[in-house]
Structure 1
Amino acid sequence: MALRIGCGSGGAPDRVAPAEDLARDGALDYLCFESLAERTLAQGHVARRAGSAGYSGKLDARLRAVLPHCVRNGTRVLTNMGAADPLGAGEATARLAAELGLSLKIAVIEGDDVLGLITPDTRLEETGGTVESFGRTPVAANAYIGHEAMVEALAGGADVVIAGRVSDSSLFLAPIAHELKIAPDDWDMLARGALVGHLLECSTQITGGYFADPGYKDVPGLDNLGYPLAEVDPDGSAVITKLAGTGGCVTPLTVKEQLLYEVHDPAAYLTPDVSANFTTVRIAEEGPDRIRVSAATGAARPDRLKALVAFDGGYLAEGEIGYAGPGALDRARLAAEVVRKRMTLRNGFNGELRFDLIGATSLHATAGRASESEDIRLRGALRSMDRRWADMLLEEIESLWMGGPAGGGGFRGRVTPSVITQPTFVNRADVRCSVRWIDA
């Protein structure tokens, strides 16, 4: 009988209701919630530094919706919603289980925190420089860990497994490796499990959500879009499908788009678990919304793990004001120049200022494009270690309401603490992951 694995989320903003549908009606063995990106992990570190919880803010809502169904149906849950605080997420899950009257065995995966491995000489891959030359203080570092510790947790009987920066596909590979008894060096089988994980990890991207483009790629029932599930056979091949009656579609095209999503080299897709070769993959349509994927192959996993180093980013200020009607673009440009001169020439700010003309150049600013729109939103932003510069930018933008140019209005702004993330690599042998059990 095929192993049934569902995707409950493909990112922090995903909706909760389709996950509840899967938990209730999907006859699942496992339900996996992928919830992390560089941005959301950074937000977790910001929250922890401010004294708040560093795990996903949707942890309670997601688990509250699905756990009663999962307990009733024998479905086990895995997630990386632990983000920057897996232990805190595990303890919060235990409290929720007690509130709901559920008896759960909860496992927390620890070890992705690798700040202790980061030195001033650690090389940053994007800048080509070192941590020391980056000129900011490292406040956290997390390695992208693989499936092994989660398999250990499942073998120990965990009903819920909560991790931090576990790799996206590894969340789904773990139950496959556990149930199919895949050896740690069976690269072809690990690649097939990683393929299933890669296809499911972005939720509705494979059921038509991000695929949809009206008039070019039409998708039915987008308002009732279903989340995907996989039926995994003992040979590692799988059928990708969704619940009957839900919107969206699973087709060869949606599968192919997701297959190549964020894959720089399809012949060597590097994960913490395996170097997967997706050029050998076979895709076959077995019926409406049922696509079989098979024949992925693999090679030995990398000796190093990717890690994200989070640096103190100081304060991020963002302020906006709108201009409408004839000449709106020119007035918004003038407003940006006024604020720039006041900040630099009058007040002495010598850092980087950014201005976007939303409605004209917000997504194509570097291309120098501009349209004569009559509806422009000016956005100004800066980052500074000194809070006074952040506050000053917002004051200057808000003052445009009365101080001209004409027609400005609808100001809003905020100042938030921030972190800046940079990728690096750490030796796999130096990363020690473990399972911690939480009483519930």
Structure 2
Amino acid sequence: MSVIRIGAGAGFQGDRLPPAVDLAERGKLDYLVFECLGERTIALAQQARSKDPSGGFDPLLERRMRAVMPACAKNGTKIVTNMGAANPMGAAQLTARIARELGLSGLKVAAVTGDDVLDRIGDFVLDETGAPAADLGDRLVSANAYVGIDGLVSALAAGADVVICGRASDPTLFLAPLVYEFGWARDDWKRLGQGVLVGHLLECAAQITGGYFADPGVKDVPDLAAIGQPLAEVDADGNATITKLPGTGGRITRATCIEQLLYEIHDPARYLQPDVVADFSGVDFHDLGADRIGVNGAGGHPATGQFKVSVGYRDGWIGEGQISYAGANCVARGQLAVDTVRARLAPHRAEIFEERGELIGVNSIWQEAHGNASPPEVRLRYAARCADPETARRVAEEVEGLYLAGPAGGGGATGTVREVLAIASTLMPATTINADVEILEARHEIA
């Protein structure tokens, strides 16, 4: 192919589905990519799988696949996704079953595994704790490496129509189809860097079409309610045009592209990826017309030979309570409520690791802010991370107790208790992590 059309169907687990369906139906895409994993998402998925071995993949997988597979099959669009989370094989088996039910006989679904390194993470020292992962004991939940393109490319080479993996670097989902289609060498650092750039620009989906960008009167975005997802037209050298479907809301400009370029990037000249160290320092965006931005100028250097590993572990319980105060002097009454809850929790402080009380709208973002404002209402939120669920429950109960034993006029109290799933990181040699690919074919079952 001289140009690959690749679209972003999702930028996170809870992303909207209608724009992805629109891309599948009207996008004339070669590839539709669903990037749905965050740092904690796969750890939560591992917890879910421990309770149900058949689960552990993206809870929206079935809904997404049923919605887009018929159009993708009709239009010759391949699907690449990390919705496999902690169970790519289970996700692939479900997808193959859905394909059969939809009458898509012969559709090939690939499961790419190998990112789960929980069985050998013990000796590796975690950056955040400074101790080996093994020290977490039974608090350790998951360990998944950010793998590169090898498994994905192998799956595509085996004829897969749908490729489902677990934890991979976000741009990898977009880079792999480009490497496969254009036959880029694994040491063609320039083109690999260009491919990572395309992936990075698309990985957050609507974030480059005006989502998470809109600021009324400052950065206006038309028809945000009907915002479309982006797609890229990429040539064999990795030069790309970022655009969206006609008739969709949102906008694509140099500004939206630049914001996304800098998103979550520590050093633009050394963006560490499994297959290449990408260099975005020379990237150039140029206007090609309405909602069409050309991009090129990325480079690359040899990969580090290390894969980042995201480690999930249990880290206590959060108890949280909220209650509202409105009308005259509501800030003072809200602050009195905060002070009252803090004092009442004093007997349990040994079981409380950290806590905070705040007035939403006054100092919930900047704790140093003082109550100088006079809003018509405030909502108190008191939260504490505790050693056990019983202490966390007391936090929520003390907020609810403000109804009759707190300042005047409190209402709308709520309380929650939830386990904390924390994330730490380390590095593992890439040579110790190998991808496995299994192809399932959707065939009609004969009774």
TM-score between both structures, scaled by the size of structure 2:
0.93
Alignment deviations for residues 233-253 of structure 1 (CA, whole Å, 9 cap, x no partner): 112111111001111111122
| Counterpart Cα distance in 1 of 2:200 and 2:81 | 15
- CA gap 1:374/1:39 in 2 versus in 1, 3 angstroms: farther
Q: Aligned pair 1:115/2:80, yes or no?
A: no
Alignment deviations for residues 94-126 of structure 1 (CA, whole Å, 9 cap, x no partner): 23223322232111111111112222x522223
Equivalent residue for 2:75? 73
| Counterpart Cα distance in 2 of 1:87 and 1:413 | 37
Contact 1:46 1:418 in 2 (8 A): no
| CA apart distance, 1:211 | 1.9
- CA gap 1:347/1:261 in 2 versus in 1, 3 angstroms: closer
2:364 maps to a residue whose letter is: S
2:99 maps to a residue whose letter is: A
Other structure's SS at 1:38 match: coil
Equivalent residue for 1:375? 377
1:40 maps to a residue whose letter is: T
Contact 1:46 1:417 in 2 (8 A): no
- CA gap 1:150/1:247 in 2 versus in 1, 3 angstroms: same
| Counterpart Cα distance in 2 of 1:306 and 1:42 | 15
Equivalent residue for 1:295? 297
Contact 2:352 2:384 in 1 (8 A): no
After superposition, where does 1:7-406 map in structure 2 within 5 Å? Answer: 7-51=8-52, 53-103=55-105, 104-119=107-122, 121-131=123-133, 137-345=139-347, 349-365=351-367, 367-370=368-371, 371-406=373-408
| Counterpart Cα distance in 1 of 2:119 and 2:136 | 18
| Counterpart Cα distance in 2 of 1:265 and 1:213 | 26
| Counterpart Cα distance in 1 of 2:393 and 2:351 | 12
- CA gap 1:45/1:378 in 2 versus in 1, 3 angstroms: farther
Choose 419-428 or 50-59, whichever is displaced more: 50-59
Choose 169-178 or 256-265, whichever is displaced more: 256-265
2:357 maps to a residue whose letter is: F
Contact 2:214 2:220 in 1 (8 A): yes
Equivalenced residues, count = 438
| CA apart distance, 1:353 | 2.3
Equivalent residue for 2:425? 423
| CA apart distance, 1:318 | 2.2
TM-score between both structures, scaled by the size of structure 1:
0.94
| Counterpart Cα distance in 2 of 1:414 and 1:94 | 38
Choose 123-132 or 17-26, whichever is displaced more: 123-132
Other structure's SS at 1:351 match: strand
- CA gap 1:323/1:47 in 2 versus in 1, 3 angstroms: farther
Runs of 4+ in 1 over 6 A off after TM superposition: 133-136
| Counterpart Cα distance in 2 of 1:236 and 1:283 | 14
Other structure's SS at 2:401 match: helix
| Counterpart Cα distance in 1 of 2:412 and 2:388 | 26
| Counterpart Cα distance in 2 of 1:50 and 1:242 | 41
| Counterpart Cα distance in 1 of 2:137 and 2:101 | 46
Other structure's SS at 2:171 match: helix
| CA apart distance, 1:133 | 6.2
Contact 2:361 2:378 in 1 (8 A): yes
| CA apart distance, 1:416 | 2.5
| Counterpart Cα distance in 1 of 2:95 and 2:67 | 12
| Counterpart Cα distance in 2 of 1:413 and 1:274 | 46
Contact 2:397 2:415 in 1 (8 A): no
| Counterpart Cα distance in 1 of 2:306 and 2:139 | 24
1:209 maps to a residue whose letter is: G
| CA apart distance, 1:291 | 1.2
Alignment deviations for residues 138-180 of structure 1 (CA, whole Å, 9 cap, x no partner): 2211111111110000000111111111111000001101000
- CA gap 1:395/1:89 in 2 versus in 1, 3 angstroms: same
Contact 2:319 2:394 in 1 (8 A): no
Other structure's SS at 2:257 match: helix
- CA RMSD, aligned part only? 2.0
Other structure's SS at 2:356 match: strand
| Counterpart Cα distance in 1 of 2:438 and 2:339 | 55
| CA apart distance, 1:182 | 0.9
1:105 maps to a residue whose letter is: K
Equivalent residue for 2:445? none
Structure 2's unaligned 5+ residue stretches are: 443-447
Choose 152-161 or 414-423, whichever is displaced more: 414-423
| Counterpart Cα distance in 2 of 1:350 and 1:189 | 51
